[in-house]
Amino acid sequence: MYLFGSIITLITGLFYSLRYSLVKDLRDFKISKLQINFYYRLFSLPVLVVLAFILRNQLFSILPDFLLWLIIATVVNVFWGLYQVYIYQKSSFSSTESLQFLNIVFSTLAGVIIFGEIISFSKIAGISLTVIAFLILLFKDIKDKKQNFLKFQIVIYYLLTTLVDIVNKKAISLSSPIIYSISATVLLALAYLIFAKAKGQKIDRLDNGKMRNLLLLSGFLSGITVLGISYAYKLLPLGVAITLLSSRVFFSMWLSKAKYKEANILPNIIASIIALIGIGVMFI
């Protein structure tokens, strides 16, 4: 099951890169962050329903306290989802994705402190290399105050992402990945719809075909990634799951160059190589 979880997580990482790039693409349209989050979760439900039929033998695996942790996870995910859209639409794709290695450090420490996961010398060495990678990116454009502030915001984003990882893993440990995926997606879609209505926003009818297609594809990818990461949380230690998920960085760097034509991403690539070596060391 460990090998199965690892393979699922690696594949999920690639889908994450694509999904986040689509979130970034939606900045070109006049649609609020609340409605972006609402629609792509709404459109992910058909995918999850099909997957639920395939995995129907797992639909009745619920332990006490699941509802409590599901509510906690939903609340945390609501704010994280809004901040995620802000970060990916505000900063360059390469900067946001390459700094994901901070999540490895945060999640590994959280796994040790909260879930009692074992810390080893190889993990310490791997984390050290990841910190070096972060320092390279930290000193890139160090004189640019605007970029420095964006980097600070990205660090906050990955701290919040680690909190999301913790509460999601706790909720999933009390149920099955498919139960959590569907329950959380429904609650999040309802929460974003309610907040949008409360703010007086008129729900977009998606008359723009390109925007509608982006949201539909985002929803499809969301359905796959939410179940994939749920399996990762269930089958793997938190630090291992996030480490494998972060190995998508080279695909993200390729997207940054090929799709967004971003310049000066060499420091990001170097930092990514060092961090990936760190990932390899962690698995020795």
Rounded CA-CA distance 218/84 in Å is 14
Spatial contact of 136 and 266, defined as CB atoms under 8 Å apart: no
Q: Give the Å distances, CA to CA, from 235 to 4, 144, 239.
A: 8, 42, 12
Task: Show the 3-state SS of 84-127.
Answer: HHHHHHHCCHHHHHHCCHHHHHHHHHHHHHHHCCCCCHHHHHHH
Read off the pLDDT of residues 66-97 as tens digits, 9 standing for 90 and up. Answer: 999 999 999 999 999 999 999 999 988 888 88
Q: For the segment 167-217, what is each residue's pLDDT rounded down to a tens digit? A: 999 999 999 899 999 999 999 999 999 999 999 998 888 889 999 999 999
In terms of C-beta density within 10 A (0-12 exposed, 13-18 middle, 19 or more buried), how is residue 44 classed? buried
Q: Over the stretch 246-278, which tens digit does the pLDDT of each residue have?
A: 778 878 888 888 888 887 788 878 877 877 787
| Separation CA 191–CA 37 (nearest Å) | 10
Give the chain's radius of gyration (CA, Å): 18
pTM of the model: 0.87
pLDDT, residue 202, reads 87
Q: How far apart are CA 235 and CA 252, in angstroms?
A: 25
- Proportion of the chain above pLDDT 70, given as a percent: 95
List, for residues 218-255, the tens digit of each pLDDT value: 999 999 999 999 999 988 888 788 878 877 887 888 88
Residue 283 — pLDDT band, cuts 50, 70, 90?
Answer: low
For residue 58, which amino acid is it?
Answer: Q
